[in-house]
Chains A and B, each alone.
Chain A
Amino acid sequence: MAMVQLFTGMNISASGLRAMRLKQNLIASNIANAETTRTPDGGPYKRQMALLEADAREIQPRLVIADPSMVGRTTNSRHMAIPSDLFLVQKDGVGSGVQVQRIAEDQSPPRLVFDPSHPDANAEGYVAYPNVNVVQEMVDLISTTRAYEANTTAMGSAKAMLTKALELV
């Protein structure tokens, strides 16, 4: 348990790295399939996105109240007020990083292009192309890459601190 807590900082950053890498894979898949009109499910490719969720396993602060009956009562205006938060002994949960809740498909309608000669054209001559906006994907790619780098930095810092702790004695 102590060991698990020791490396929590690095595990949190690792969860961030994993989530960002998955996002990056989905962006790559979206860009690669920006023109795909046929999929096993039928119809054009649908833009995929990762739904991120804060991992709340330790998010609830541990409130250890020494003795609730010990909250100071003031029965006289000259009594000293003893705040109840005096008894919040431990409150040090910080959460366990991020997790990908699920991979969702963008349900917005496909992009219709008039091209009657295309084998996948419908009766009116329109071809349904994926609802992928390549420019949007590139922007997402930049922010995901930056977030990945930030997580790397945080992990490096955790590593440096743990290494520094080994220099004690």
Chain B
Amino acid sequence: MTSIASRRPKLPPLEGELRPGARQARAQRLVRAALGRHPIGMLFSAPYAFFIAVLFAYPLGLAVWISFHRYFFAAPGVSVPRPYVGLANYQAVLDDPAVRQAFLNIAIFMVINVPLTVMLSLLLATALNAVIPFRAFFRTSFFVPYVTASVATVGVWLFMFSSGGIVSNVLGPLAPHPSWLINEQWAMPSIAIYVTWKGLGIFILLYLAALQTVPKELYEAAEVDGASWWHRFRSVTVPGVRQVTTLVTLLAVITGANLFTEPYLLTGGGGPNGKSTSPVLQIYETGIEQNHPDFASALGVILVVGVLAIVGIQQLVQRRQA
């Protein structure tokens, strides 16, 4: 285009009139200013943007809207009034003892799950971080529970931990009574241990990746200085993998906020006496089964705000430390 323009005999530029090439360049600049250097990117990301708008942003807004109104499922085609009720739904959620129990339960879950996950995955990742026989076999075997459907693994845990199951049979009198999953003290810890077992594989991989970025020279220097194994671990390894540890904590918060399949199936609907119920199970039961989507939405909003607040605070602290 510009080559054609330059081949033309040069004319003295007229006042107030731009040459065609320059006009085009200006138009291009305008398009760039308005749409960016690659407007086709809008087309490429349009399906994903549509997906986000229709199946994420709008539902998110709808959840907030429902939580401020009286809302229930009516027969199709029947129009029912859905009056604004202010914070009444939130009040009802906060006053509900079952909800409080659910939040207490995920606190218990995190207190058990986070340290157990950090310690075990760091230990196994450290053990894997060397030239050892059967390395691929070990790595894969740790990963298998993570990728298997919860429904399948919960089935085996039910088989193993039920009243007459192999775990109680092997432990004999040492097994708790009533059995693990129907015991008020043991139901939630059982879920926390199950989730730790299931999710450990991914954290082992993450720690392993982090360990491989820790410079070997640091270990050698520490060794020359006569640092003990424990000392080297504490002053070289732990700071080297801090980012992953942070990630583990964050993911545990999100996992806790997401717990559903485990209390639904493993402890038969959050039993006994709601001692292993979770917020999401409460959302399912009140919103879908008992037809109180307004209550369930308010609970969901509280849960999202809580998770985002924890993530935000954590990011802030991390930035300050860095």
Real binding pair: no
**Which A residues are closer than 8 A to B by beta carbons?**
none
**Which B residues are closer than 8 A to A by beta carbons?**
none
